[in-house]
Structures are given as structure tokens and as C-alpha cells.
A and B are shown apart, each in its own frame.
Chain A
Amino acid sequence: MKGDARVKITTQDTGKSLEVELNAKQKEVSATANEYLKLRPMILQMSCYARGDGAAICMQGDTVISAQATGPAEVKLQKEIMDKATIEVIFRTKSTGTGGNYVLLEKSVRDACETAILTTLHPRSAISIILLEMQNYGSLLSCCLNACCLALLDAGVPMNSTFAAVTIGISKDDDLIVDPDDTQEEECESLLTFAFESQNLELVASHADGQFTAETFIKCMKLACEISQEIFQEFRKCVKKQHIEIEKEGPT
């Protein structure tokens, strides 16, 4: 099934110019596999607060994001949509004094959520997601997306599929860096973030910064797709752990 999905992606997005077979691609990845093509250690935690519908903390290396999902709940009149749920995403920095515009980030996360959540199930209601920055050391967007997905899972919001995001940096020598930290980000010429859904491994959201060629974009996308598998594995582990905990607590 998974193999099929990968083939599908290559045919869908790369077109004729890049007919790379799955096996060949895996070889390519393993050949260049070095430190830069690995995710930073990832720690996930669901239901980390005693109150609220759903919450999760996602740590990718030193980047730590806490997400909270609430809903479906009452919606403001002006934001009401007649046939589906409104999704609100708010990003909060830990200190209010330092400014910064995160509207774009909020929008990217919202777009990804809108494709994943079955919004038509809850018309005229709001599903709100709050992202709280706890530590920002690179790859902020992908960490936000991952935390958001986990929080939605924890809140029990009906979804088409889960999604996982990977940030890839392209350095000046066209080397790829997966999940770059803040110092690596500074050295990178451009940053690409991709989010894939779990069912068919199709692209849910992408965000790009800086200059790059179409080829590198596609190369990065494939790499990201590969790596998103690892993140899905982490998600599964986390959910499993959570359920074992709940089962343990059950009798008491």
C-alpha cells in the first residue's frame, strides 16, 4: 500500500522529467544519508494539560510548541460559515513584548487543517487551535503543524487523515538539510516546508522561503515525503503510549 502511494506521488508531481523509481530514490537517500538528512530527536506528548479538550506538545530538537485544540464550539457570528466548521488558528509567542508577524504561519496551519478536518460534519461551529511558542530554535512551521495535528487527535476532532510536516533547508551549495535548527537556518538560502497527509501521502500544505529551482523543489518534496513516514511512526508511538496509559488508569 505504502509503495503504491509513493509511486503515485512520483507520477503525480514529478511528471515526465523526473521518473525516479522508488527503489532508486531510496538508494539515493541512503547513499547521501548523513547527519543533515535526519530529523532532530522528536518528543511528542499528548493530553499534557488537565483541562481543555485536546492538547499536545511537540519537541523537535530544541523547538518546542504547545498546541491546544478546542471544538466544535460556538462560533462568532461574523466568522460563521453555513455549511462547514470555521477553523481558527492563533499563534502566541511567550513574551508579548517582542513583536513579530505570524499571520502567514497561522494561515498555513489553518490551510493544512482545513484539508485534514472533516469540516462539513460540524456546520456553523468553530474549531480553534492555539499554538504557544515555548522555545523557537528553527523549523517553527513544521513543528507547529505536527503539534497541531496531535492536538486535533487528542481532542477527537473527526479528520480525513493525519498530517505531518517537514522543513528542509537548501544551503548555498545546494545541500539539503532536513529539520534545520536556528543556526543552520541562517546559513540556508531557502527554506521549504511540506505537510503530507497519511492516507495517500499527498501534499496538504507547502510553504517556501527564498530562491530555488523547480528541480530542487521536487527533490525536496520527495525527501520530505520520505521523512514524513518517520514522523507518522512517531505519532503512532505517541498515540499508542497514550492509550496504554489510559487503559492503565481505567480501573482506578
Chain B
Amino acid sequence: MISLKDGTSTSEKTFLLGVLKEHRRIDGRSFNDARNVDISFGKDFGCCVASLGNTRVMCQVTCQVKAPKATRPNEGFLFINVDFPLMSSILLLDNDQLLQTRTELVRLLERCYKEARVVDMESLCIVGEEKVWELRVDISIMCDDGGMIDCASIAALSALCHFRRPDVTLEGEEVTIHSIKSRDPIKLSIHHMPILVSFSFYENGKFVLMDPDQREQKGSEGLMVVGANPFRELCTLHRTGSVPLIKDQVRRCAEMVALRARSLVGYIKKELEKDGALRSKREHAGFAAHLPRSLMVKPPVEVIDVERETRDIPMRDIVQRVSAKRTGNEVENMSIEVGKWDVPKGTKDESDFDESSASSDVEMVQQVTAEEKKTVEEISIMSDSEEDEVVALGAADLGFQRQKPKPKEKIGKPADSQALQELSKDKPSLKQVDGHAATFLKTLGNVDKELGKQINYLTQVSTGQPHEGSSYAAQKVLQMALHRLEHARSRVNESERIRASHMQQLINAGFISRPQSQQMQQATQPGTPAVQPQTPQQQPQM
């Protein structure tokens, strides 16, 4: 999907940009239109072919019984696999690229469907700690014309909704799995229905295209994949390329994805109903009944309306700001209300940032830009790194340091076991034993050093503190906050004293009557709070 490396020719790129500057796209869509979607369900449960323009993806969900993980004894599995069975319809001839694309697709889909808990995993449990269902989602990309991920997500979601697993009964300890023919199979319980939509960016984010096709994707400077469900909940955010984005742009994209998710999910539900009705009437269902319709050589470009009127973040503003940013004169206008977004961890500070900027002081603008840069950085971190790393960052450096020595111990074990193995032989070669012993000693030394460090650290943390090390950081922050509070209080007291003395002087001199002194009061007040708002914002940085 993301094939920025093998970009297009210069002339193609200039043509693409030229067309974009005229506010058109090569295939005649407007910037915010996606290509038309078609879904057809197979006769087998959990089989679906989705097409998005010329891109076509098939998905099959299957299930089998497995033993659960020891750590999650009453949860099933969801396994996602992406394959390119019809190789020549994919324009990635390089094997490495193919592998890379595949991994990227799998990880994105996993993030959107597995980690966002779309399927209720606990309902897949048959016998706790013994038997659970493993769902396998096999996605075959049949033809790629850009937007593979969009199409794959539609196919996967429809297939998951369409899938039914065999019924199971428990009698004592005996588990009976009924065949589909003997008993009605059971639907999966789906918590929510997120959809992935890709966007491509041109000219530093001046032009944003929804659902780019292959040519547009290749000529783009950056791509972003956003996953959201119809309840406006963000599930996935992934960015590639090197385009600096304004926060509002990301939000605008998310807004559009939510709208698209609403219309798409509606369409999927409608198609599911149609399929269900056919099945209940025992009429002909499956590809043979539906595919001919969708197998048109070139599906007409039909607009699935993204409800343009409901856009509350106008593109014109963003374009202005992008160009302003480049010249250095930035004027922020933060009058936009934040929606009821359920933002995942990394971007949670959005809401308080907007509250602070709502006052729109001149001094604030600088702060706002600084913070904005921070959020953009955070987003890029989120998109590039894996989920685990994000968690590691959040869990403070304590956990990180503790994990460090572990891998070294693991390296040490084979060395000592190898040495012992060598000794246990009939004719041990002394050289090898010596070598292994040396490496083992070295690793032991390392472990010792790391342990020493750890102990040192722990003693530092625990001495004089009533609690364990984990609360140390929080306590420090609290202490700092208390200090700062005291400081602020003294400042306020001081200014109060000065104000009182000034008032006294002025009243004594008889220059100023009552109302003017009230104005003075207001004028002095902003000076003091200017110190206060900084304190809560500095705290998280400490």
C-alpha cells in the first residue's frame, strides 16, 4: 500500500500536482470523495469480496478449536493474515516491498480489529483454560489500485459480521460441536464497527485527498490511515511519509472518517440484511448471485456522500495556516469546538489544550504553537513505533530500567550450559570450555553491574520515603507543585500588598475616585494568573 520509495516520474508528479492545483482529481472526484464500494457475500459463512473502485479484496473468516493462552485462559484468538494470491495484479514486484506491505497491512488491521476489541473475545471461550475458538481472518488482495487497506478493512469487517461459528453444547465435561447443518450456527458478538480510511498529502499538507488511488498514492508526500467507528471513536492512526501536519488537519481527517464509517457501516448492514433475507428464504445466495453485478470492468465513479455540510473544520483555514506556517507568520484562530472524541492515550492532552487556547491571549499563541508541535511529534511517534513502545514510554522509566538486565541473563545461560556440555563430553576441548567460561563470566559481570546499578537506584528511591519506588516520581511532582503553589501564593500576597499600598497612596492624594481603582484592580489581576497557568502545564514535563 505504502509505496513511497518507488515514487512516480517527475512529469507524472507535476501533472498530478497541476491537476490538484485546479482543485480536481485525475478520475474526476472531488478531494473528499471516496470511490464507490461494493460488497458481495459468498455462500460460505464469513466470506466476502469487497471492491473499492478497481481495488478488490476477498476475505474469509474460519474458526477452529484451540487451547487458550495461559495468561488469558478465557479468551479466544483472532488471527489476521494478508496474502497476495494473484501476484501480477499487484504492482509490487520487489519481494522485500511485498513483505513490508504485507506486514504493514497486517499490523494496521490488527490494531484496528484486534487491539480495538471489535470482537468479544470472551464469548469465544468454550471451556476455560482448555478450549477456545480461534478466529482466522484470511485476506486475499486480488487487485490493487490504491487503498488496499481501506478495502481490506471493509472486507474484514463485513466478513466478521457475516461469519457464524458452529454451535457448541456442554454436557458435564463433554463438548459437542454441532455441524452447521444440524444446528443453526451462531453469530459473533461485535462490539463496534471501525473502518480504516487512507488520506494522501501533497505540498506540505496543503492538499489532502481522501481514498487516493494508486497514482495518487505514489505521487504523494505522505499518507495517513485513520480508523474510526460510526460513534466517532478513533481506533487507529497511522502516518507514513514526511509531511508536517497541523493538528486540525488530523482532526478534520478523523471527522471525515467518522462520517464515512457511518455511511459505510450502514451500507454493510444493509447488505448483511439482504443476504440474511435470501438465506432465510433458502434462496440462492452467494457469489454466483451477486458477483456479476460487481464484476463490471470499470465500476462507475459514484460518490458516497461524505455529508460535506457537516464539516466544521473548513479546509480553507487549514490551507491558509499551512502557507502561513511556512512563512513564519502564524495566526491561530482556535474557535473550533472539540467534538466528543474518545482520543487514545498519546493524544489525550488535546482537550485541555483547547480550553487554554480558548482565552486567545496574544502571549498564549506562542505557547499554543509550542504545544502543537509537541502533539504533532507525539502523533508521529505513535504512528512509527509499535504499540508496545508507546506503553513503555507511558509506564515511566522505572519499568524500563528493570527490564534491561533480563536479556543479558538470557545470553548468559547458553554460554554456561555450553561450557558444562563441553565438560561433560568424553574429551572436552579446553580451549572451548575456557572460551565459554570467559563469556559466561563476562555476562555475569554485566549482570552484577546492572544489579548493582539497580540496587543503588532502589536505595536512592526508598530511603526516607514511606512508600515504594513507584510512587517516588509522583511524590516529587507533588512536592514541586506544593513548592510552586507556595511561590505563587507569596507572589499573589506581594502583589496584593503593593496594590493596597498604591491604592492607599492614591486615595490619600485624592487623585483617583472609586471606579478608576476598580479598573486598576482588573489590570493588575492578569499579571498574577499569568504565573499560575504555567504551573499545571509544567508539572507533566517534570
Q: Hey, which bits of chain A sit against chain B, CB under 8 A? A: 41, 43, 45, 47-53, 55, 57, 59, 61-62, 64, 66, 68, 70, 92, 94-98, 130, 132, 134-135, 137, 245
CA distance A59 to B297 in the complex (A): 17
Query: Could you write out 8 A-B pairs with CB less than 8 Å apart?
Result: A52-B89, A59-B291, A94-B138, A94-B140, A97-B62, A132-B58, A135-B47, A135-B288
Residues from chain B with Cβ under 8 Å of A66 in the complex: 86, 142
A51 touching B145, Cβ below 8 Å:
yes
Closest CB in chain A relative to B279 CB, distance in Å: 13
Closest CB in chain A relative to B215 CB, distance in Å: 12
Chain B contributes a number of interface residues (CB within 8 A of A) equal to 35
Residues from chain A with Cβ under 8 Å of B54 in the complex: 49-51
B287 touching A132, Cβ below 8 Å:
no
B47 touching A51, Cβ below 8 Å:
no
A130 touching B138, Cβ below 8 Å:
no
Closest CB in chain B relative to A86 CB, distance in Å: 16
B142 touching A96, Cβ below 8 Å:
no
A97 touching B287, Cβ below 8 Å:
no
Contact of B60 among A61, A94, A130 (CB under 8 A): A94
B291 touching A94, Cβ below 8 Å:
no
Q: A47-B297, A94-B60 are in contact. Are A53 and B88 (CB under 8 A)?
A: yes
Closest CB in chain B relative to A30 CB, distance in Å: 27
Q: Which of A47, A51, A98, A130: most chain B Cβ within 10 A?
A: A51
B88 touching A95, Cβ below 8 Å:
no
B289-344 contacts to A (CB < 8 Å) = 291-292, 295, 297-298
B58-107 contacts to A (CB < 8 Å) = 58, 60, 62, 64, 81, 83, 85-91
Nearest chain-B residue to A49 (Cβ)?
B143
In the complex, the 8 A-B pairs of residues with the closest C-beta atoms, listed nearest first: A50-B54, A49-B143, A52-B89, A52-B88, A95-B138, A92-B85, A70-B88, A51-B89
Dominant secondary structure at the B interface? mixed
Residues from chain B with Cβ under 8 Å of A132 in the complex: 58, 85-86, 140, 142
Q: A50-B145, A134-B58 are in contact. Are A57 and B295 (CB under 8 A)?
A: yes
Residues from chain B with Cβ under 8 Å of A49 in the complex: 54, 56, 86, 89, 142-143
Nearest chain-B residue to A98 (Cβ)?
B62
Residues from chain B with Cβ under 8 Å of A137 in the complex: 43
Is B192 part of the contact surface with A, judged by Cβ < 8 Å? no
Given contacts A48-B297, A132-B142, A135-B287, 14 further A-B contacts (CB under 8 A): A48-B295, A49-B54, A50-B143, A50-B145, A57-B295, A59-B287, A59-B291, A68-B88, A94-B47, A94-B138, A95-B60, A130-B86, A132-B140, A134-B47
Q: A61-B288, A96-B138, A135-B42 are in contact. Are A51 and B60 (CB under 8 A)?
A: no
Nearest chain-B residue to A54 (Cβ)?
B88
CA distance A135 to B91 in the complex (A): 26
Contact of B288 among A41, A47, A51 (CB under 8 A): A41
Residues from chain A with Cβ under 8 Å of B140 in the complex: 92, 94, 132
CA distance A50 to B145 in the complex (A): 8
